[in-house]
Amino acid sequence: MTAATTILPPSLPVLPYSFRQTTIVETLDKAHKSTERDTKVQEVFPVEGKMLFHRLISRNGKPLSLKEEEEEAKRLEAFRQAIRDGKKPKDAEQVTDLTARFSGEELERAFISEEIGREELRGRRCILYKFRGRPGRSIKIGGQYQKFFDVVVDGVVGQLWIDEEDRKPARGEVRLKKPVSIAFGLLVYIKQFDLDVDFERLEPGVWWPCKAAGTADARFLIFQPCVKRGQVLNENFKRMPSQEPPTAKAAFAR
C-alpha cells in the first residue's frame, strides 16, 4: 500500500469546492451516556485559492446574532488579508486532497498493511486492506502532538477500502487494540479510541471526507477524565467556478 504525496505539500492543487460542515461533539459519562452536546454548522470554502475558511452559520440550532455575523465577516477579512500578505492565518487548513497527505514511505514506516480481498462499497469496487501500527515507528508530523501520535500509532489496527479505479480511500476504520499511555499514564492514558471515516467521490480521481464518527475515552494528568463522542458531516459540495479542476493523483497505488 503506497501513497503519492507528502504531508501538506505546497505543490498539490487546490480542491475547488465549498461545502457545509456539521460538527457534533458530546461529552459522555462513565456509562457513555451523553451529558453535554455541542452542535456547530459551518460553511467551508477556499479563500484566495489557498486555504479553507470555516464560516460559522449556527450553533446548537440557533442562527448567529447580528453582532456575531459582523465578527465572522471581520474574521474572514483578516483571514483573506493574512493570505495576501503571505502569512498563515490562525486555524487555517491547507486546501489539498485530504486523502493524499502522507507519502508512501511515511505510511510504510507507520503501518504494516495486508491486502485481504475485494468488496463493493456504495456501488464501487474496492480493494480491502487491513493494517496495524508498526511497533516503534511513526510518521513525523512534528509539533506538540508528535509524542502523542507516536504512542497511538503503535496501538492502532484497522481496515481501509481503496477505490479500485481511482486508487483513493473510500472508507477507513481505526481502532485502538489496547490502552496506550504517556509517562506511565501520568500525562495521558487512552482507554478507547475508534474512528470511522467515509469519503465521497466528487469527480474522477478526487475524493473528500464526507462523514466521520468516533469516540475517545482518555485521562489527562491523572485527574482529568475525558470521554468524547464526535461526528462530522460534510455535504452540499459545490464546485467553485473560478477554479480549475485539480489534477487527479492516485493516493494509493499497488
Residue spans of alpha helices (H) in 122-180:
146-154
In this predicted structure, what is the pLDDT of residue 99? 41
Integer Cα distance of 158 and 127 in angstroms: 14
Q: Which of 254, 252, 250 is nearest to 206 (CA)?
A: 250
**What pLDDT shows up at residue 224?**
67
Please report the pLDDT score of residue 143 as a whole number.
52
C-alpha cell at 73: 465577516
Looking at residue 216, its amino acid is A
The torsion angles phi and psi of 72, rounded to 5 degrees, stand at: -65, -40
Torsion sign across C-alpha atoms 123, 127, 130, 135: negative
Reference 3, options 95, 157, 108, 119; nearest CA is 108
Number of helices followed by number of strands (H, E) in the chain: 3, 13
Residues in the chain, pLDDT under 50? 1-13, 95-103, 144, 243-254
Spans of all domains in the chain:
17-42+98-239
Element (H, E) at 76: helix 66-84
Give the integer Cα–Cα distance in Å for 32 and 146.
Answer: 28
12 SS3 class: coil
pLDDT of residue 187: 63
Whole-model pTM over 0.85: no
C-alpha cell at 195: 474512528
What kind and span of H or E run contains 110?
Answer: helix 104-110
207: which 3 cell numbers? 475524493
pLDDT in tens, 63-97: 999 999 999 999 999 999 998 998 888 766 654 44
Query: What 3-state DSSP class applies to 210?
Result: strand
Return the CA Rg of the chain: 19
66: enclosing H helix or E strand: helix 66-84
The confidence score (pLDDT) of residue 127 equals 95
Neighbouring CB atoms inside 10 A of 209's CB total 17
End-to-end CA distance of the chain: 6
* Cα 128 versus chain centre, distance: 20
pLDDT at residue 116 in the model: 95
CA–CA dist 93, 63 (Å, integer): 24
